[in-house]
Amino acid sequence: MIDFANICSYNGGKSILKGVVHMTYADQIGQAAFTHLVADFFAHHYHDRGMKKWQGYYLSDHTAALKKQAKAEAALQDQVALPQQSEAAVRHILATAFASGQSVIVQLKHLTPEGRLAAPLGGKVQGYTDWDEVGIGNAQVSIADIRHADLVPFPQR
């Protein structure tokens, strides 16, 4: 006869009965019977939802993307207009960042179609063009379109 132990947190996850054999269900009913039971389940009882399952995955991904977009839009709504800097001050900050390798965050003068400030641009100053533009990160921005620029401090070590 085979005894089954009740393993729980009271005894630290250890069996308190000696000589207890732990068996899987397949061992209990026999491997052939278990194989027949599994085959019967998939042949007669299991219902594959097919495309419904994949549509659920798509819906989940779509919902996650919408939540991410809503969070980004909420962050833009909370954005306040920083003080307008003179073009000379903006040029000085950009030149300092370019010379030292520091990153900058700039707020543009442009508004979105909803009347909100555009998202701030951030990154390292990559260089200047002949058309009075500056490369910040992967974007090219006219210096005249920059409302406010700030240096991003180097991380403390």
Residue 93 has what pLDDT?
A: 94
Fold category of 87-152 in CATH: SH3 type barrels. (2.30.30)
Of 86, 67, 74, nearest in space to 119 by CA: 74
Residue 57 has what pLDDT?
A: 66
How many whole angstroms from its chain centre is CA 58? 17
Residue 61 has what pLDDT?
A: 78
Residue 3 has what pLDDT?
A: 47
Residue 2 has what pLDDT?
A: 47
One digit per residue, the tens of pLDDT, for the chain of length 157 reads: 444 455 554 555 555 555 556 677 777 888 888 888 888 888 888 777 666 666 666 677 778 888 888 887 776 666 788 899 999 999 999 999 999 999 999 999 988 887 888 888 899 999 988 889 999 999 999 999 999 999 988 887 7
For residues 40 and 46, give the distance between their C-alpha atoms in angstroms, rounded to a whole number.
9
Using alpha carbons only, how large is the chain's radius of gyration in Å? 32
Residue 110 has what pLDDT?
A: 85
Reported as half-sphere exposure (CB side, CA atoms, 13 A), residue 10 has a value of 4
Residue 14 has what pLDDT?
A: 53
Return the ∠ at Cα 138 (arms to 136 and 142), rounded to 5°.
45
How many whole angstroms from its chain centre is CA 13? 37
Residue 44 has what pLDDT?
A: 83
Residue 1 has what pLDDT?
A: 45
Cβ–Cβ < 8 Å for 119, 157 = no
